[in-house]
């Protein structure tokens, strides 16, 4: 049996008719960049996440970059974030001219450890970017408190966490700015690249709206230095259709995760730890085990696709070498692996993952 890590073809079969109508409307309108479909989707996603303003942009990476640009963060500034994330979180900071300052993670949730943030704050620190890794929110209350105390902006990297909740608040709605990615493999994925920035500040929303269209402030007038970071209307049309299914899909991910948690209880692994106040959306279902590479080899040989997010932490990447020592991050990069948890998994596939895991640990004893 084959169990892929993601199965967008099965998902497409299920929503094909609606998607085709939605894309066709965009083609008939010949309005491909921003426009009505994008505005409609911006309203829908703002309502879903319970935020006042949402601005559609070209990708999750641009959402981060535009957020930093909107705050006028640049050369000489420092921005605190985690080294256990996708590279875009950090290079968005570097592209503005600012320096990412890494803080080690919590060993249970893999998210930035709030207790280690204050010691990294200097008079150059301008912002903190917590990442809601794998679909579970970082511990936001202490982070927001530090933000208040030192007058730092909080930008949530909620690229992996649409629909996740922290103490009843939606991922992306808690900081000064929240960034979401609609890359095809994300829990809400488009048919190409796009993203959104969310904020309660009208001033920041307006700045990002100008920055995403080359910094334009009226025809042929450019008061700001911007980029081409617009959202594509075809993506907005697809995402409007898919948003209606998101809660169901996230529920199914949670059910798959609960099934794994129960059946893996006897195995020598750590299943995902979820803080009591968190509603996890399982972008990835990540387990921890000492002989991780052996387990991966076994599962892959049995047709189960598994992957490591992320095998090389950012402070060990060539572009960020010599940026500190992060022992917890390094340990987790060696011991964690993601198993298929997507909502299109069949019962047979789920059972097969469980039996294969049980067989591996029987043989390992
Ligand atoms: C996917 C992702 C991004 C980048 O989003 P894109 O839409 O691919 O540009 C940024 N941060 C994290 C944590 C991500 O997972």
Answer whether 159 contacts ligand 1 (Cβ < 6 A): yes
Contact 128, 352 (CB under 8 A): no
pLDDT tens digit string along 109-167? 999 999 999 999 999 999 999 999 999 999 999 999 999 999 999 999 999 999 999 99
What is the 347 CA–ligand 1 centroid distance (Å)? Answer: 30
pTM of the predicted protein model: 0.98
Instruction: Assign 291 a pLDDT band (cuts: 50, 70, 90).
Output: very high
Residue nearest atom 5 of ligand 1, based on CA coordinates: 60
Contact in structure between 332 and 110 (CB atoms under 8 Å): yes
Residue 273 is given by DSSP the state: P
pLDDT at residue number 45: 98
- In angstroms, the Cα distances linking 214 to 58, 146, 217, 229 are 13, 33, 9, 8
Listed residue (176, 201, 232) closest to 57, CA to CA: 232
Residues 354-364 pLDDT 10s: 999 999 998 76
Residue 127: phi and psi, rounded to 5, are -155, 165
pLDDT tens profile 77-118: 999 999 999 999 999 999 999 999 999 999 999 999 999 999
- For ligand 1, the distance from its centroid to the CA atom of residue 195, given in whole angstroms, is 9
User: Does ligand 1 come within 6 angstroms of the Cβ of 232?
Assistant: no
């Amino acid at each position: 049996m084959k169990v892929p890590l993601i199965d967008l073809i099965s998902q497409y079969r299920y929503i094909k008719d609606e998607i085709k109508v939605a894309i066709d409307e965009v083609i008939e309108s010949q309005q491909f960049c921003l426009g009505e479909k994008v505005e409609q989707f911006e309203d829908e996603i703002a309502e879903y996440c319970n935020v006042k303003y949402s601005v559609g942009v070209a990708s999750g990476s641009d959402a981060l970059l535009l957020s930093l640009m909107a705050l006028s963060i640049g050369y000489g500034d420092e921005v605190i974030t985690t080294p256990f994330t996708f590279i875009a979180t950090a290079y968005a900071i570097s592209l503005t001219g600012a320096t990412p300052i890494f803080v080690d993670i919590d060993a249970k949730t893999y998210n930035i450890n709030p207790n280690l943030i204050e010691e990294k704050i200097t008079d150059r620190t301008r912002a903190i970017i917590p990442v809601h890794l794998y679909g579970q929110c970082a511990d936001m209350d202490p982070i927001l408190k530090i933000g208040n105390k030192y007058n730092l902006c909080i930008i949530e990297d909620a690229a992996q966490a649409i629909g996740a909740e922290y103490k009843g608040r939606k991922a992306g709605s808690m900081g000064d700015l929240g960034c979401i990615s609609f890359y095809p493999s994300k829990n809400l994925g488009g048919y190409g690249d796009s993203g959104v920035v969310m904020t309660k500040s009208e001033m920041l929303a307006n700045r990002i709206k100008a920055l995403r269209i080359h910094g334009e402030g009226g025809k042929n007038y450019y008061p700001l230095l911007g980029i081409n970071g617009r959202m594509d209307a075809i993506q907005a049309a697809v995402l409007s259709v898919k948003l209606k299914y998101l809660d169901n899909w996230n529920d199914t991910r949670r059910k798959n995760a609960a099934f794994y948690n129960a059946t893996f209880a006897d195995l020598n692994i750590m299943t995902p730890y979820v803080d009591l106040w968190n509603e996890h959306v399982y972008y990835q279902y990540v387990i921890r085990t000492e002989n991780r590479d052996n387990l991966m080899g076994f599962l892959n040989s049995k047709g189960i696709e598994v992957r490591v997010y992320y095998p090389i932490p950012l402070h060990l990447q060539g572009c960020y070498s010599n940026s500190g020592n992060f022992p917890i991050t390094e340990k987790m990069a060696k011991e964690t692996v993601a198993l298929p948890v997507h909502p299109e998994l069949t019962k047979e596939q789920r059972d097969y993952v469980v039996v294969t895991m049980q067989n591996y640990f029987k043989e390992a004893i």
